[in-house]
Amino acid sequence: MIVQNDYLDLHKTAESGQCFRMRETAPGCFTLIAGSRLLHLRTLAPGKTEFLCPDEEFWQVWHRYFDLDTNYAFMEARVPASDTYLSAAVSFGRGIRILRQDPWEMFVTFILSQRRSIPAIKKSVETLCTRYGEQMHAADGETYYAFPTAEALSGICEQEFRDCAVGYRAPYLCEAASLAASGRLDLAAMAKASPAEWPDEAIVMTLECASGVGPKVANCVLLFGFHRIDAFPKDVWINRVIDTEYNGHFPVERYHGFAGVIQQYLFYYARNGQKK
């Protein structure tokens, strides 16, 4: 299946720090593991993306995963020309999409993320997957590993997590696995619910009951795991931009309903904008 869409750029999406299991294996060639699903993709030309899977799988799984029903041009149009920094950020990041990732995966990943760089996060996610995820024997002969389930992680003790080099986050992982495996934290139920049943604030509060989960991590899970794209996680990069470019206050209200997409543009531009 080939998709023509100027608002789908695999490279930028992979580099935007939301999906830690999407890798560029060769220029323009990508491998993605979502839960226990494997997908190969290619960028054929700017705005031209090939999904290497049966059409049926594309329509049933990946069309939704890549959020291809959402109109990102509409959001871009809401940015006033007077905001030169954001205009530049949007232009630079055009093609980033907010993927519809698995809530449990995002919960664990962003617990691991605190006070670490993106390459370091990727590494420990892969460590967890290779040690505790199910093996997948792909058609290309390679062995891939699914993201470990809550059940798989709930039997691991704190010391064993420490051996995965997750440092002081080891007890956080234990608690997260226990909460999810026991059903005391039902991420799947929250994911199925409408915003009326589970408002953003309620999900954040519930997630924050887990130790190691504060406003930043909870909002990342909300944005990337529950696709509540109004969520606006504030990390060191975003805070720095708000501080230096917006005098300490960014007008999030203006982007009500899709602030999380704007946040991604700002984040990506701040990290990658003036490199190379």
Partner DNA sequence: GGCCAGGGCAAAG
Partner DNA sequence: CTTTGCCATGGC
| 18 sits near DNA (criterion: CB under 7 A) | yes
Asked if residue 108 lies in contact with residue 166, where contact means CB atoms within 8 angstroms, the answer is: no
How far, in Å, CA of 176 to CA of 111, rounded?
Answer: 9
- Which of 47, 49, 51 has its CA nearest to residue 59? 51
Shortest distance, CB of residue 160 to DNA, whole angstroms?
12
How far, in Å, CA of 134 to CA of 130, rounded?
Answer: 8
Judged by beta carbon, residue 113 or residue 149, the one nearer DNA is 113
Q: List the one residue from 42, 162, 178, 242 that touches DNA (CB under 7 A).
A: 162
Q: Where are the alpha helices (DSSP H) in the chain?
A: 10-15, 55-57, 63-65, 72-77, 84-93, 103-113, 118-132, 150-154, 158-162, 170-182, 187-192, 200-207, 215-220, 236-245, 259-272
Per CB under 7 A, contacts with DNA among 213-242 are 213-218, 220, 233, 235-238
Asked if residue 159 lies in contact with residue 117, where contact means CB atoms within 8 angstroms, the answer is: no
How far, in Å, CA of 16 to CA of 255, rounded?
Answer: 20
Q: Which stretch binds DNA (CB under 7 A): 53-61, 67-75, 118-126, 185-193?
A: 118-126
Which neighbouring-strand residues pair with 135? 145
| 121 sits near DNA (criterion: CB under 7 A) | yes
| 50 sits near DNA (criterion: CB under 7 A) | no
Q: Which stretch binds DNA (CB under 7 A): 10-18, 34-42, 52-60, 82-90?
A: 10-18
How far, in Å, CA of 126 to CA of 26, rounded?
Answer: 19
Shortest distance, CB of residue 126 to DNA, whole angstroms?
10
- Which of 30, 27, 20, 72 has its CA nearest to residue 51? 30
Joined together, the tokens standing for residue 214 give 């504060």
| 208 sits near DNA (criterion: CB under 7 A) | yes
| 117 sits near DNA (criterion: CB under 7 A) | yes
Site string for DNA, 87-116 (x = CB under 7 A): -----------------------x--xxxx
Judged by beta carbon, residue 17 or residue 149, the one nearer DNA is 17
DSSP letters along 89-116, please?
Answer: HHHHHBTB------HHHHHHHHHHHTTS
Judged by beta carbon, residue 37 or residue 116, the one nearer DNA is 116
Judged by beta carbon, residue 115 or residue 137, the one nearer DNA is 115
Q: Which stretch binds DNA (CB under 7 A): 43-51, 63-71, 119-127, 140-148?
A: 119-127
How far, in Å, CA of 113 to CA of 124, rounded?
Answer: 9
Site string for DNA, 59-88 (x = CB under 7 A): ------------------------------
Joined together, the tokens standing for residue 123 give 């590494």
Q: Which stretch binds DNA (CB under 7 A): 39-47, 137-145, 146-154, 262-270?
A: 262-270
Q: List the one residue from 120, 157, 188, 189 that touches DNA (CB under 7 A).
A: 120
What are the residues binding DNA (CB under 7 A)? 16-18, 110, 113-121, 123, 162, 165-168, 208, 211-218, 220, 233, 235-238, 263-264, 267, 271
